[in-house]
């Protein structure tokens, strides 16, 4: 089902992270998940086409060429404020690059946005002995939401890779969970990425370890081999997957999930 909400507030959190707060009458019709990695698929179309939201996708397919159809971009819900009937979506921006990123930089309160979802399945288990959370900017909203939901006596480590210290944000963290920020020194590249190396250096205790690791696809492949094949952690129950792929727009990235290059786990 396609939902329609209004932009109520826009806040720049860091040079490359914008919080868009959504609300309105459509909030009541959304079925939220008991998860801290809830995500929505926001829809975007060429403004020159003058399409009205919510988009009638079936009707549009009959009259528009494929290249003019609205496209979806996936973003994690940072927070759901049920009392205020608002959704917070923290969006990474890259200047003029990226359809959704440009929208987040330019959008004004009062504008409408439509989306599908939410989906999501992961939430920290209170019974887990130790938590391992790791990711790049794309996973930061889900990691922040997970840390906030943990019991006060939770134990573990959160590792977050960002461009530099200016991209760090405050995190509400249990005293027993250590947060490590990694600084690439600029935009992501395969040679500047530091996440896999940092996780490889961690001492992971025995016991019930719950894992949440998301980010760039090739980094996720490295981390899967490290944790499952080298360290022997059980793959079942581990939330480890790619949110994006270097050098790919989301349409390409999603299509490649069905091919060998897009799989995190070997067949």
What are the chain's domains? 2-119 (2.40.30.10), 130-258 (3.40.50.80)
Number of residues written out for the chain: 267
* Contact status, residue 80 vs residue 35, Cβ threshold 8 Å: no
Name the one residue in this structure whose structure tokens are 């990235």: 253
Q: Which pair of structure tokens corresponds to residue 224?
A: 């899967």
Nearest alpha carbon to residue 219 among 193, 255, 237, 187: 193
Helices (H), 74-216: 99-106, 140-149, 195-200
Nearest alpha carbon to residue 212 among 110, 258, 144, 265: 144
Q: What is the pLDDT along the chain (267 residues), one digit of tens a residue?
A: 999 999 999 999 999 999 999 999 999 999 999 999 999 999 999 989 999 999 999 999 999 999 999 999 999 999 999 999 999 999 999 766 668 888 999 999 999 999 999 999 999 999 999 999 999 999 999 999 999 999 999 999 999 999 999 999 999 999 999 999 999 999 999 999 999 999 999 999 999 999 999 999 999 999 999 999 999 999 998 999 999 999 888 888 888 888 988 889 887
Complete DSSP assignment for 11-46: EEEETTEEEEEEESGGGGG----S-SS-EEEEEE--
* Contact status, residue 246 vs residue 190, Cβ threshold 8 Å: yes
Q: 159 CB contacts (<8 Å, ≥6 apart)?
A: 133, 134, 135, 179, 180, 182, 195, 198, 199, 202
Q: In what order do the strands lie in the sheet with 239-244?
A: 177-183, 156-162, 130-135, 209-216, 239-244
* Contact status, residue 70 vs residue 44, Cβ threshold 8 Å: yes
Q: 173 CB contacts (<8 Å, ≥6 apart)?
A: 147, 158, 179
* Contact status, residue 158 vs residue 177, Cβ threshold 8 Å: yes
In this prediction the pTM is 0.95
């Amino acid at each position: 089902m396609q939902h329609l909400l209004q932009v109520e507030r826009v806040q720049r959190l860091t040079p490359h992270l914008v919080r868009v707060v959504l609300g309105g009458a459509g909030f009541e019709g959304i079925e939220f998940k008991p998860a801290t990695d809830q995500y929505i698929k926001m829809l975007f179309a060429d403004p020159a086409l003058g399409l009205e939201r919510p988009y009638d996708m079936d009707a549009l397919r009959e009259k528009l060429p494929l290249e003019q159809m609205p496209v979806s971009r996936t973003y994690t819900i940072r927070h759901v404020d049920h009392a205020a009937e608002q959704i917070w979506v923290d969006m990474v921006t890259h200047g003029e690059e990226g359809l959704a990123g440009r929208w987040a930089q330019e959008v004004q309160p009062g504008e409408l946005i439509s989306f599908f979802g939410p989906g999501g399945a992961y939430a920290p288990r209170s019974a887990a002995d130790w938590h391992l959370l790791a990711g790049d900017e794309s996973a930061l909203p889900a990691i922040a939401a997970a840390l906030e939901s943990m019991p006060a006596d939770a134990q573990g480590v959160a590792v977050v890779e960002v461009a530099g210290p200016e991209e760090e944000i405050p995190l509400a963290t249990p005293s027993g969970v250590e947060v490590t920020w990694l600084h690439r020194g600029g935009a992501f590249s395969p040679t500047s990425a530091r996440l896999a190396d940092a996780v490889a250096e961690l001492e992971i205790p025995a016991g019930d370890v719950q894992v949440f690791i998301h980010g760039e696809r090739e980094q996720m492949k490295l981390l899967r081999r490290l944790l499952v094949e080298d360290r022997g952690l059980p793959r079942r129950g581990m939330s480890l997957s790619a949110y994006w792929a270097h050098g790919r727009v989301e349409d390409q990235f999603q299509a490649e999930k069905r091919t060998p290059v897009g799989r995190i786990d070997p067949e």
